[in-house]
């Protein structure tokens, strides 16, 4: 009931904003949403003609269902896995009233800058960012695993950023990742944002995503998909990540080639 009430309040708030813009003579003509279709539903009810839904998260099934009822355009990366989306891609392809657009690049390249990482002093302690999630969300309740049991054995300087903690500049957080030697994350999105900037990420999650497949088996993505226990710091996965972090401090890894996602998206949206 609480979730439904919050959704209803959000719809009402967004619709009120659309009405206000119309009253002052500056009506909203287009809404672009990444994985958040409630704004698109509100836009449809208020007569906004252009409603774009962008996603790179296949298991966000409820959002996809809502988008099918509200979007005029859907943008998905070429890495999208139809076997994880419960028929969303197939449904979009069958609809004559929804235009499907594919990005050959990766979405983080649309809002991040190409990074520059510098060599650290020989005796430096690795600095890592730990992204802690609350869990229990609509699409991650079966994926979430706490990475906290790993912290005591890492021997690293850890900055913890928890999901519900106030952050001065939440939009700036992804761009800060290049300042760290490694990232320990329960969030797929943050791990992906680290990887594209050349920062080794240990993703502690049972998540499966098409955007991760490219990096499986490489030195930037390391995934632990079972709950860690104290003393697990020297398992093969964690050890490989620690080695990548230490190596990167003295010889920073080059970020994967920066692709054309930003230019592609700009060309699509105009």
Distance CA 212, CA 79 (A): 9
Inform me whether the pLDDT recorded for 120 exceeds 80: no
What torsion, rounded to 10 degrees, do the Cα atoms 43, 45, 49, 50 define?
30
pLDDT band at 256; cut points 50, 70, 90: confident
Average confidence (pLDDT) over 62-88: 97
Q: Give the DSSP H or E segment for 33.
A: strand 30-34
Cα–Cα nearest to 45, from 9, 78, 11, 93? 11
Q: Rg for the chain (alpha carbons), in Å?
A: 20
Q: Where in the chain is the domain with CATH 3.40.50?
A: 127-250
Q: pLDDT tens digit string along 136-184?
A: 666 667 899 999 999 988 999 999 999 888 777 878 899 999 999 999 9
Distance CA 29, CA 23 (A): 14
What confidence score (pLDDT) does residue 232 get?
59
Q: pLDDT tens digit string along 176-233?
A: 999 999 999 999 999 999 999 999 999 999 999 999 999 999 999 999 998 887 665 5
Cα–Cα nearest to 38, from 10, 18, 60, 1? 10
Answer whether 0.85 is exceeded by the pTM: yes
Cα–Cα nearest to 219, from 204, 233, 198? 198
pLDDT band at 77; cut points 50, 70, 90: very high
What confidence score (pLDDT) does residue 136 get?
62
The answer as to CATH 2.40.70 being correct for domain 127-250 is no
Average confidence (pLDDT) over 21-46: 95
For the ranges 15-24, 118-127, 252-261, the maximum mean pLDDT occurs at 15-24
Cα–Cα nearest to 70, from 48, 93, 55? 48
Higher pLDDT, 255 or 156: 156
Task: Compute the mean pLDDT over every residue in the chain, rounded to the nearest whole number.
Answer: 91
pLDDT band at 251; cut points 50, 70, 90: confident
Tokens 């392809």 correspond to 93
């Amino acid at each position: 009931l609480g979730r439904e009430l919050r959704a209803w309040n959000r719809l009402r708030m967004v619709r009120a904003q659309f009405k206000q813009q119309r009253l002052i003579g500056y009506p909203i003509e287009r809404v672009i949403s990444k994985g958040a279709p409630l704004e698109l539903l509100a836009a449809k009810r208020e007569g906004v003609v252009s409603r774009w839904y962008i996603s790179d998260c296949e298991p966000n099934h409820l959002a996809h269902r809502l988008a099918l009822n509200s979007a005029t355009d859907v943008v998905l990366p070429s890495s999208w896995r139809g076997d994880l989306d419960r028929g969303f891609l197939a449904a979009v392809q069958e609809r004559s009233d929804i235009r499907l657009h594919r990005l050959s690049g990766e979405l983080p390249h649309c809002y991040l800058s190409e990074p520059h990482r510098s060599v650290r002093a020989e005796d430096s302690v690795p600095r890592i960012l730990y992204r802690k999630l609350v869990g229990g969300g609509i699409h991650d309740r079966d994926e979430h695993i706490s990475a906290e049991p790993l912290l005591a054995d890492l021997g690293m300087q850890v900055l913890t950023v928890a999901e519900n903690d106030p952050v001065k500049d939440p939009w700036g957080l992804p761009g800060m990742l290049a300042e760290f030697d490694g990232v320990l994350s329960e969030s797929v999105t943050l791990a992906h944002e680290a990887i594209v900037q050349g920062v080794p990420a240990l993703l502690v999650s049972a998540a499966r995503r098409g955007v991760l497949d490219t990096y499986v088996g490489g030195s930037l993505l390391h995934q632990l998909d079972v709950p860690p226990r104290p003393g697990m710091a020297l398992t093969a996965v964690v050890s490989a990540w620690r080695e990548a972090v230490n190596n990167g401090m003295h010889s920073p890894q080059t970020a994967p080639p920066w692709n054309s996602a930003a230019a592609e998206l700009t060309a699509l949206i105009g």
